[in-house]
Homo-oligomer: A and B are copies of this chain.
């Protein structure tokens, strides 16, 4: 299966790791071409981020491991896109 895009909900402690460490770890993960880390919430202790990862044949397990190894925590996987091209989610009409 050609995994092309993954969206993850990731938390980190305010101090460490830095976002740049997480970005570097993800970018270096097998099959990853590019990553967008967007901060959604900043609390006293933690920073909540939405991470969008694109690539070709992304190694999902390696990606999760790479993020966890930085000290950040993958909360959930919000989207997966696989196949010949990236298909966008079409909002339901209901």
Does A33 belong to the interface (CB within 8 Å)?
yes
Given the interface pairs A52-B89, A52-B90, A93-B50, the reply to whether A80 lies near B40 with Cβ below 8 Å is: no
Q: B82 touching A34 by the CB < 8 A rule?
A: yes
Number of interface residues of A (CB under 8 A): 48
CA distance A24 to B76 in the complex (A): 19
Per-residue B-contact encoding for A68-92, CB less than 8 Å = 1, 0 else: 0000000011111111111111111
Per-residue B-contact encoding for A35-50, CB less than 8 Å = 1, 0 else: 1111111100000001
Query: Which of A41, A77, A83, A91 is packed against the most chain B CB atoms within 10 Å?
Result: A83
Q: A34 touching B83 by the CB < 8 A rule?
A: yes
Partner of A33 from B79, B84, B89 at Cβ < 8 Å: B84
Q: Can you list 5 A-B contacts (CB < 8 A)?
A: A27-B83, A35-B81, A37-B81, A39-B94, A79-B93
